[in-house]
Structure 1
Amino acid sequence: MIMTAKDALLLQISNLYSFQDAGFTAQDCEGFVPVNRNVISHYLNRLCDEGKLVKENTRPVRFYLVNHAAGLVSANGDADEPFLTLIGSEGSLKEQVNLCRAAVNYPNGGLALLMVGESGVGKSHFANLIHRYAVHQQIIAADTTLIELNCADYANNPELLSATLFGHVKGAFTGAEKEKSGLLDLADGSYLFLDEVHRLSAENQEKLFLFMDKGYFYRLGDNSTRHTTRVRFLFATTENTNDVLLNTFRRRIPCRVVLPAFSERPMTERVALVEGFIRQEAQQLQRAIQVDVTLIQDLIASPARGNVGEVKNRIKVLCARAWSQQKTQTAGPLMLSPPGVDDRESILVAADNGRPLLRMEDVADARRLLREFVDSANLKLFSRKLEQRMQAHYPRTLEPDCDSWLHQRLQQTVTDFAERTGVQISPALRRTLILSVDYALLCTLSEEDIESLHQASLWTAQRAQMLADEFLETLHSQVTAQPLPLLTPLLHTLFHTVVEAEPLIQGVVVAHGNATASSIAGTANKLLGGYYLKAFDMPFSVDTRGIIDLLIRHLDKIKNGSGLVIMVDMGSLNDIYREIKLHLHSDLLVMNNVSTAMALDIAEKIQMRLSMQDIVDSIKGAYEVEARYYEGIGRGNKIVISCISGAGVSQKIKDILQRHLPEASDLDVVTMEYDELKWKLGRADTALNGTKLIITTTDLDAGIIPFVNVQQLLKEKSTQLWQNYFFNLLTPEQLQPLIDDIVKLFTLEGVASHLRFLNPSVVIDEVDQIIKQYELTFTLHFESYVRMTLFMHIAAMIERLMINETFHHRDSHLLAAQQQAFLHAQQDIFAPVLKKYRVELSQTESLMLYELIEPWVTF
């Protein structure tokens, strides 16, 4: 039956989106079938009519497979739910909020809950939200109030605290002239919130857990009349509960919520809290507030001892002082700045609600998008979706008085980055960069997911990765030093679209001073409109040794085979080369007394794609500086083989390599004693010039020369080996048989140790032919570790057949159709060996082989 284009489209959608909840658009499906987007939209609507898809009327329209459509309503959530007003409810406080919801919704009175955290982290605010949530869920009546008591107020009078909690009868103590109910009575049907619960005496803790257990209590002064109420409990403390609460009391509180300090909250949440408090003051004063940027940065960055509460009070005091000083100036906004600071960059906070950084549903959408990317590793699709969401959430023009502090700083970060690197930032790229930072700040992914993203972006151009590092450095100096591991792979992808993929000579400027190198390199990059020079600003206290250490760290990160030009303001050029030579991937030119004119000239030559030799020739006599040119140790063409066990194994590997190298190859294969190789590597001996790869049987510090040990050749996938070590030496088709022969070589020794009388060299060749016949018959290729397992198993099996020690315990088992097909094919594969040794293959032995090979075979 011929598959229609519509059915083919549904098949592609099912393969890609069956395990994802984010849905897809018509644009996402382009390329799935050979029709235009209008026809794809038509097919998608037809599939909706047939009940195979569900669509959501958003812009653009999103479609979902029917098994994911049920989650749409729950994903959108309840907009009136009190916890959604809490900053961080979908971020750093998500687990805490979910636990609070669970405690409230638990049947038969809910669960008691203890909040732990430093003073000012928001425990009282959480208690109010829990009460409001219970009302919202119609678990308690709407006319109930949250009853609160700070136990510290009665810490020195436990009896009075007992009377306050449980009530008292007339005459219970001096001054008790009549019976009085307590807070347990007032909280009937609602919540009782006991703050600073660690100040509760042991006796009162015992009374309270008795009530929580039994449901009744006695008033102070009366041990005979029981009183019953239905009370839900919330507790809060700043102390270690194990030290201050009785075990019996602590066990009655099953839910424990730890609230983070202000400094531990993500930066986006700190920004939102600060802006929210300033906006509250603007509403209170009925006046817009102009806030100095450094003041906001200080409020966000400072580790406030009083946490959220102290930050709120600081803002209130700052506003009060500004109001007092500027109350006669009725026109214009209220100016908020540090003492003695005038005419600085600032932002305007209006008295209305303003524009949020990102809505909570946007955060969930971002997480879904990133999960899709991790699952599919489709960078092109991800970039397109990121752009779509950027356009959906941000207007084309961002007015300064409408932006948050964070977005103003991000705008400035992008501008400074462009000035520093010379990269042309289009409006679309600017918006995408800002949204990428938002995603990285807001989304929490596992280390495994982030590593998947990072691995998926390693194909990007080296200059794209260097630009990502430049952007992160600018971001850390302008906005936040908070690590953003998720941002790195996103930036790799984005910058890959704006740089030339072809490798260029790398220029580096190193100079002492706060911004000397940045100024020189930035000027050259900006004038030439591209990223040609990397700058390193060095403190005046740093000597040549410090410059060398910095350059080594930089060189270890890059693998540029086109050449490197280092321009320094001072230092011994010979010392620099001597120390960094083992870390070089290419030719090196070192120049001192760097100037803007020199940097501009070198950058222009890089832009013109001059070779290293042409650049060296062009600078002769052009500057009154010292310049040294060093030919890279990477020139030439050779593979070095060295084995710690001796020259015998090295020679065998060399023979294998030479058999598989193309006839036209100019690669030399040489063997070298292990100690001699180590000695030459340590001195960057010229004998290693032109070494493209070193192969050894042990790990070795080979500097920048690519190095692979035999264990990797035996264990890693051939695609990985080709990408990492052989991509410029052999084609993938040439590499695979080479690896197979190396596997055979090292398997021979293992087989020899297991055989009792058969000749290992003869058997290994016969097994090799059997494995190749398996591969031809089933159209596959075994990975190296599977191949080694088969060598060992089949060789041992042949000997078992020869000495009649074969296995028969499964000979009578009924066979499935796949097993029958396998055994039938296997008779032909083993026919030459069975005929030669005059043996028969039992069904049990065949089934053992089937189980070894079955995961790799498609029947």
Structure 2
Amino acid sequence: MDVKDKMLSIIKTENGKEPFTDAKLGKMLSTTREQITILRKELGIGNSRERRRPHLKKAMERIIAQNGKLNIAELTKKLMESGFDISRHVVEEFFSEVNSSELQVQEEIHVMQDPFSNLVGHDGSLEQSITQSKSAILYPPFGLSTLIIGESGVGKTQFAECMYHFAKQQQIIADNIPFIVFNCADYSDNPQLLLSLLYGYKKGAFTGADNDTEGLVEHADNGILFLDEIHRLPPKGQEILFSILDRGQFRRLGETRDERKVKILFIGATTENLESSLLLSFRRRIPMIISIPSLHERAFVEKVEIIYEFLQQECNRIHVKIFVQSKVIEILTLKRFSGNIGQLKSTIQVVCARAFMKNIGKNQDIISIGYEDILETNSIQHDFILEDINILEIRNYIQDMLFIPFLRNHVNIMKRNQDGESLLPEDFYRQIEKKYYELSKLHIDFSEVEEILWTFIINKFSNLEPKSTSHHKYFSLNELVNIVDKDIIDLVKKVRLLLLNEHMHNDINENIFIYLAIHLNETIKRVRLKQQIININLAKIKKDFIKEYEIAIQVAAWLQELKKVEIPEDEIGFIAMYVKAALQKKLPQNRVGVIVVSHGRIATEIINVVRALLNVNFPIAIDMPLDESPSVVYEKIIGISRIVDEERGILFLVDMGSLVGIGKMVTDKLGIPTQTLDRVDLLTVIEAVRKASIPENNLMQIYSSLVKTRYNYPLLSIEETSKPIALIALCLTGEGTAQNIRQAIERKYANVTVFQMGIMDERLKEKIKELQEKYKVLAIIGTINPEIEGMNFVVYEPYLLDSGIKEFDIFLNAERTNAWVDFPTEDLLVFESDMSSQKELIDVMCLLLINKGYVKKEFLESVVQREEMSPTFLKGGIAVPHGDSHVVMKSAIVVAKLKEPIQWGRGYVNVVCLPAFKINDKKIVKSLLKPFLNLGFIEKWKEVRDMNQFKEMLYEKMKE
């Protein structure tokens, strides 16, 4: 009899009131729970709860028929007396799954329950808040708009949902009206999209508005609309709410005539200071303000109750008994969680996940969580702030606890995601189990399996890294003194304080400062070696990370003063990425995987150093014993790669030999993008892990930067010239690889001439010099650096060509910028204007720059202030006002020619040039000033009456 037949036989004879779980069947049949689940599904047999369902339904009907009306508690007691091992929670859940036709008595036993009674603290710390919320809901005729305030993770969303259920219970809103939730932060970077989703839009209101579309406001008509993180609603969005709050009327985006009527009760939630984050006129329209206390402000008995509830939830999820030592409860109670209830829940989940992992493969009915388990968790293991609580009082209150699935009926305080904190997927424990069995087939020691699974778990909980309250981070920074200059470490500490104090970010990613210190140290070396730094994402960084880029400018200024070097704009972009990562409040994006593979135990030793130094968990070490078959190692790498991949690809760092082809093997077998770098050393691994820790870095960027660092080739500045552009493809013979390089470049750049050359050519240097007389040779790309002075060289590797071409994009874009063909464009030219005042003209010229995205709105104020201090009047009737370069996003010039001269300080002008320059555009400034310093040119130029001629004269003069 095979396993399938044995399983069928056992299920046929099991007790219907207490069917065997898959885990129990697995132990009885000496196989895994996963295998039982697969066999059961193949046979179309339900799980233990599904097999118990008909017996439970029949027993309920019999009990109710004998006893008449019963409440849930009474029914649960009767079921337990009849032999069911069941809880009130399961009985309630059963009724939510069946309809009235299946169980006609459902309405008879339904007991009305206060929705707020499901909140821990409803009769304690939340009592006043609940009283306020009930008053707001019951206030005639349709409740009072309410604002819920509190720190991140305190349970504002859950509280708002209780208000919704209370409103339904009191028949303020109908049962069929849904609870509409909208998180303003999800779309804060795109205000137009946010407003269109919220209020709807009229066909043609903007590009892509193909149909009249309802917004969430209309969906919430006659109900409740909950606006989470309402402080992220732009001023225009708040203004539209005015009319709804005042008159119950609004218009969709793009509508100008008839107003739409709605009856809505608004509930908003925010973590911010009301006076600084919301318009005064908006705040006045919210009569009810409800404050939810932070976790550390609540009574410790409530905190303990919440901890018990979360442990019971995890017990229910894995359907296994959990035993927790009192010391674990004590530590969780004493720790102050900056993320409040959300972070507490995540911490408990990661502790349970680790305990579950350690229990896999052991024939134990109970998972034990002890003191050592919680200390191994990242968010607990370092220094943490103790709550101001009497420890003896806690110890008298708590005790060792055993949790049994679905037996206890603690309050379900976390039905919904708490203020953006991530909840584990329902199958997370199954994922751990599956990965364990995959790894167990690869002949890996259990200690290695445990380490890999722990890395997998930690990657799911990357938000649990120690926060700014931990002094351990400063110690780690100081530990870098052997590889980073002491003054740079001090500078990074200064950056950290800037972010904490000036920008009010108290919840920051401390690890980033370690990476930043190493990065800045390497930057100074590159600058002093005159190696040009190129950031291919600079334009995107400046557009998307405006605030972070401004901070990076300040950091670069400090660095320049400290090291007496000039920090290029591209490097400022890199610093902005680190600032962005440090201020990241949301869970980090999936990262590129890093796996180090080596002969002997070199990989493990390197990874141990890197993890200790950078305080990270994600890099994986795979050792290849010299006496182990390569096929066994390859099988191990395939299995681990499947687990490590987070859909961003994997970077393999290997030492030598056959391991060089490991990445291609993984890609061919699993379809995972990979790159492989050989001859790896400790510094390379540190760089790889540091770069992989920044979510914006992709696999190709990390690999390319590591290759460039290894080859250490100079990227020199390109001199201005009118010669045509050319590139040189170079290999050993001038054929083969050079031809492939040439063809790849010509496919992308039709206007660039590419020459093939070979390093063996004795006249190579002479031929290149001859080419330079006719062409501007941007760079040589090839397999060997000819080391020709003043010539850029880009190393060629099979997977590196795309990155090299991106660098040529930078060169070519620099050519177009310096050519001045776009300054000023016609839409930035005010010709023959009849404006009669300096103020009016400055307003119009700045408006053009602001509306077209060249500058921020603060630019106008800076221009006005500078003119008030000292009018920029030049000889010849010319004015050149200018503003603060820190608020310039893209360099541009507005030129105005007036019909009649206007007063400008101490004279009259009829030509005004308003430049807007980025900080590092020195060449543009010099080119611009040339025409305006030539009085002969100015006199002729002012007399021109044709706009095209006026513009062409300016272009020609700028090119001289």
Q: Over alpha carbons, which structure has the higher Rg? A: 1
